[in-house]
Amino acid sequence: MALHYVADLEDAVASVRRSLGPGGRFVFSVCYPVITSNEGRGHGRRADWTVDDSFVRGPRERPWFGSTVVWHHRTVEDYLRVLIDVGFRLDGVRECEPSPALLADDGAELERRRRVPLVLLVAASIEG
């Protein structure tokens, strides 16, 4: 959950690629782009999500636990393209749908969390 803080994603991913040998794996998660698309909405328990400027890449200032942080908004395509461009093979993508078993005692919370993806999980590797 850190690459959305990194301004130069291609440089960071290329650095990971250079540090891994054949068969090496790179697994990462980021805030889902529907979350990083909207600037300055705050944090906390949300009842709605606004997707705004989804294809306008770049920094978004956000309040975060009493401070302001910068998230770099990218599309899902941007994350996958960078992996492929620097030489990774894409192994899997998960949108981390909430588990009904984990929220079995709170149906309203399960429904709230199923409205929008919060986390993007990606696995890639180097041909070995």
Distance of CA 69 to the CA centre of its chain: 16
Cα(125)–Cα(20) distance, rounded to whole angstroms? 9
What's the whole-number mean pLDDT along residues 2-10?
96
Query: 74 or 38, which is more confident?
Result: 74
Among 112, 79, 99, 96, CA closest to 12: 79
Cα(1)–Cα(43) distance, rounded to whole angstroms? 16
Q: Write the pLDDT tens digit of every residue in 26-62.
A: 999 999 998 888 765 555 566 667 777 889 999 999 8
Among 94, 92, 83, CA closest to 119: 94
What pTM, to 2 d.p., does this model score?
A: 0.85
| Confidence category of residue 3, pLDDT binned at 50, 70, 90 | very high
Q: Write the pLDDT tens digit of every residue in 93-113.
A: 999 888 888 888 988 888 888
Supply the pLDDT for residue 83: 97
Q: Around 120, how many Cα atoms within 13 Å sit in the side-chain half-sphere?
A: 20
| Average pLDDT taken over every residue of the chain | 89
Q: What tokens were used for 51?
A: 């997707």
Taken in order 125, 34, 55, 61, is the CA torsion positive or negative?
A: negative
pLDDT at residue 82 greater than cutoff 90: yes
